[in-house]
């Protein structure tokens, strides 16, 4: 609460609000194919195209991959053209592909959807624009709370799962793209009038150059943090993007019964959206909690706890046939642990790379997106190869175990070198 009070009279609150809205709705658009996957697949089937498990995974993974790579591109745009111009350019692309998907509607082809998916990646790259623009207005002592507000946009994926399936049920899946396009247009206008780039007397620009990225990529700690965030954020966004597909393929009958008996909802795709939103909400809302736990216990110890929990639960889900209610609880706890691990990773990053936090945010953020892409493709491969997801969960658990071993390898060196003067608990 003290942090929020300290914002009074500081910075430029319209820009902070605009950055939050831009990022929140961009994150919603970025992940919208996930909750619409079943409806789109059924629509393509009517037209004669039967999407395989691998093709569905490819479609869902492209926005995540494009968002990861475009974060670096938009980061350069922020330096060269300013955050506002970069954001408006990226938002224009997003609006265009949303309207295109709506007007093509049921006539759209799978190949066209792949291009739409790539265009949605510009929404995922908003992370590299919204956070710097908000942060540039505020002093270092307020960066935590400011970036926390601007970066709270991952709650947008919860909005997707709550409302997209219901809109699709009533008006068709094309209508979700129309709603997204209209909302994105409103955000475009709002951002255009509210957001301002910080003047030079408030923020001294330090443009990033390719050699700056190259220098950091030679540092082995960069790669350790890439691994940890590829597991934590990659796990979160990967499961979020694939959640509805997984639930529909694994627990469709259970959700149908539950929906009729408890939710009074007969459309199992809508019910899947509700359960997906519940699990994703845990990861989205608990990220700040993970950061707070890391502040108290230390980032290393916290990651041991969070990654250890994810490993055990992923193995449990892979090796046992869980009742529906227990399975939802396990998914909820996996997402909660991944969300808190995100907070723990970024409790450590500023302490190690404080002078290069802008560049590192882009590099590590890209690694997180690549991790999410890999997870979606792994789950799709598992379904296609074995008609189930046990292999996918086992592989994910193995990768988390590798991250745990990595923590064990670096913890002593970190605590006895940069951790000594970092200023926070390592």
Q: Where are the domains of the chain?
A: 12-207, 215-415
Q: Mean pLDDT over residues 127-135, rounded?
A: 76
Q: Give me the architecture of the 215-415 domain, per CATH.
A: Up-down Bundle (1.20)
| 8-state DSSP, 201 | T
Q: What is the pLDDT of residues 3-40, one digit of tens each?
A: 456 566 566 778 888 888 888 889 899 989 989 988 99
CA-CA distance, 350 to 357, in Å (whole number)? 6
pLDDT for residue 139 is more than 70: no
Lowest mean pLDDT among 180-184, 309-313, 321-325: 321-325
The fold of the 12-207 domain, in CATH, is Growth Hormone; Chain: A; (1.20.1250)
Q: What is the pLDDT of residues 60-78, one digit of tens each?
A: 999 999 998 898 888 778 7
- pTM tops 0.85, yes or no: yes
Short-list 241, 107, 98, CA closest to 179:
98
pLDDT for residue 132 is more than 80: no
For residue 216, the surrounding DSSP H or E stretch is helix 210-217
CA-CA distance, 296 to 85, in Å (whole number)? 39
Provide, rounded to the nearest whole percent, the portion of the chain with pLDDT above 70: 89
Short-list 376, 388, 173, CA closest to 269:
173
Provide, rounded to the nearest whole percent, the portion of the chain with pLDDT above 90: 49
Asked if the domains 12-207 and 215-415 are classified in one and the same CATH topology, the answer is yes
CA-CA distance, 394 to 362, in Å (whole number)? 29
Short-list 409, 403, 425, 415, CA closest to 307:
403
255 in Cβ contact with 275 (< 8 Å): yes
Q: Which residue has the higher pLDDT, 201 or 162?
A: 162
CA-CA distance, 408 to 200, in Å (whole number)? 43
pLDDT band at 255 (very low <50, low <70, confident <90, very high): confident
Task: Give the chain's mean pLDDT.
Answer: 86
Short-list 272, 257, 246, 248, CA closest to 166:
272
Short-list 273, 242, 70, 90, CA closest to 176:
273
pLDDT at 1: 45
| Angstrom distances, CA of residue 135 to CA of 7, 139, 346 | 12, 8, 16
Which phi and psi angles does 245 have, rounded to 5°?
Answer: -60, -45
| Angstrom distances, CA of residue 267 to CA of 166, 177, 243, 273 | 9, 20, 17, 10
Identify the sign of the CA torsion 288, 294, 300, 301: negative
Tokens encoding 129: 């624009």
CA-CA distance, 50 to 379, in Å (whole number)? 18
78 in Cβ contact with 132 (< 8 Å): yes
C-beta atoms surrounding 416 within 10 Å: 10
């Amino acid at each position: 609460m003290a942090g929020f009070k300290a914002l009074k009279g500081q910075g430029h609150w319209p820009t902070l609000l605009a950055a939050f809205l831009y990022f929140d709705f961009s994150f919603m658009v970025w992940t919208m194919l996930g909750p619409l996957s079943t409806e789109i697949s059924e629509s393509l089937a009517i037209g004669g195209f039967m999407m395989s498990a691998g093709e569905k995974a490819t479609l869902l993974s492209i926005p995540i991959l494009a968002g990861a790579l475009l974060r670096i591109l938009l980061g350069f745009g922020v330096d060269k053209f300013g955050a506002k111009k970069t954001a408006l350019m990226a938002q224009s692309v997003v609006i265009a592909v949303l309207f295109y998907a709506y007007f093509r509607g049921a006539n759209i082809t799978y190949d066209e959807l792949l291009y739409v998916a790539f265009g949605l990646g510009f929404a995922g790259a908003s992370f590299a624009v919204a956070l710097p623009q908000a942060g540039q207005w505020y002093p270092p002592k307020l960066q935590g709370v400011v970036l926390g507000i601007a970066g709270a946009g991952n709650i947008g994926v919860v909005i997707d799962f709550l409302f997209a399936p219901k809109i699709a049920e009533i008006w068709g899946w094309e209508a979700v793209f129309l709603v997204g396009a209209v909302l994105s247009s409103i955000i475009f206008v709002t951002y255009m009038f509210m957001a301002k780039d910080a003047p030079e007397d408030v923020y001294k620009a330090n443009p990033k150059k390719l050699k700056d990225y190259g220098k950091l990529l030679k540092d082995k700690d960069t790669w350790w943090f890439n691994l940890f965030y590829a597991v934590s954020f990659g796990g979160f966004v990967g499961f979020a993007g694939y959640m509805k597909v997984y639930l529909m393929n694994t627990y469709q009958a259970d959700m149908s019964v539950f929906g009729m008996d408890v939710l009074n909802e007969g459309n199992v795709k809508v019910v899947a959206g509700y359960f997906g939103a519940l699990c994703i909400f845990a990861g989205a809302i608990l990220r700040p909690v993970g950061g707070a736990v890391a502040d108290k216990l230390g980032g290393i110890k916290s990651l041991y706890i969070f990654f250890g929990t994810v490993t055990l639960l992923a193995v449990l889900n892979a090796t046992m046939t869980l009742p529906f209610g227990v399975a939802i609880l396990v998914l909820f706890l996996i997402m909660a642990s991944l969300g808190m691990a995100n907070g723990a990773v970024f409790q450590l990053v500023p302490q190690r790379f404080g002078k290069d936090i802008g560049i590192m945010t882009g590099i590590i953020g890209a690694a997180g997106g690549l991790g999410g892409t890999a997870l979606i493709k792994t789950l799709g491969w598992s379904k296609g190869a074995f008609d189930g997801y046990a292999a996918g969960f086992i592989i994910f658990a193995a990768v988390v175990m590798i991250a745990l071993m990595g923590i064990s390898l670096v913890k002593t060196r970190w605590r006895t070198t940069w951790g000594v003067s970092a200023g926070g608990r390592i």
